[in-house]
Every structure is written in C-alpha cells, then in structure tokens.
C-alpha cells in the first residue's frame, strides 16, 4: 500500500510586468515552493531562488513607497463615461 508522505504544491505566477533583459522584454514567472520562491524570466534559462522571508522584508521596506505609487496612480485615472440607455 502506498501513501503520500509529504504534500507538495506547485504554483506558477506569470506577471503582467515586463523586465528588459538583453534588449528584449520578458514576463516574470514566479514558482512557489514551500520554503522559497524561484523567479525566472519567461523564455530564459536563469533561475533565481529567494526565501519567503526576504520577499516579506523587501515588501515591508517598500510599503510606504508602494502606497504612494498607488495613490498617485489613482489620481491619474480617467473618469469612465456613462452610457445612455
């Protein structure tokens, strides 16, 4: 009889953000693993593992700047036109 000792999930996120590398733009692919994430550029071979704690620390350091960018982006949105029935 076989049984599963450890449950492992693999989740891939493909971002809408583009990164320029060697003159071309690539989407960022994040592979979620239990202990860390692996970041690659779509179509490239290089893989960059990073622990979840480092991602959290980077997010905490950038939190106020991200709030400022979100507020700035919200003020530049175009109002939507109402359609007549």
* Adjacent-strand bridge partners of 50: 37
- The residue with tokens 């003020």 is 75
Q: Report yes or no on 51 lying in a domain.
A: yes
Q: Report yes or no on 61 lying in a domain.
A: yes
Q: Structural domain tally of the chain?
A: 1
pLDDT tens digits along 1-15 = 455 455 566 688 998
Give the three-state DSSP class for 18.
strand
Residue 75 host element (H or E): helix 52-75
Q: What is the dihedral of CA 72, 16, 25, 51, to 10 degrees?
A: 90
Q: Report yes or no on 84 lying in a domain.
A: no
- pLDDT number for residue 1: 47
Q: Report yes or no on 1 lying in a domain.
A: no
Give the separation between CA 60 and CA 55, rounded to whole angstroms.
9
- pLDDT number for residue 4: 46
Give the separation between CA 33 and CA 9, rounded to whole angstroms.
7
What is the domain range of residue 70? 11-75
């Amino acid at each position: 009889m076989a049984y599963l000792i450890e449950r492992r999930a693999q989740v891939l996120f493909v971002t809408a953000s583009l990164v320029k590398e060697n003159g071309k733009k690539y989407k960022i692919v994040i592979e979620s693993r239990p202990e860390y994430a692996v970041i690659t550029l779509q179509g490239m071979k290089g893989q960059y593992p990073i622990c979840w704690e480092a991602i959290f620390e980077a997010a905490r350091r950038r939190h106020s700047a991200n709030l400022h960018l979100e507020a700035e982006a919200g003020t530049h949105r175009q109002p939507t036109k109402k359609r007549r029935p």
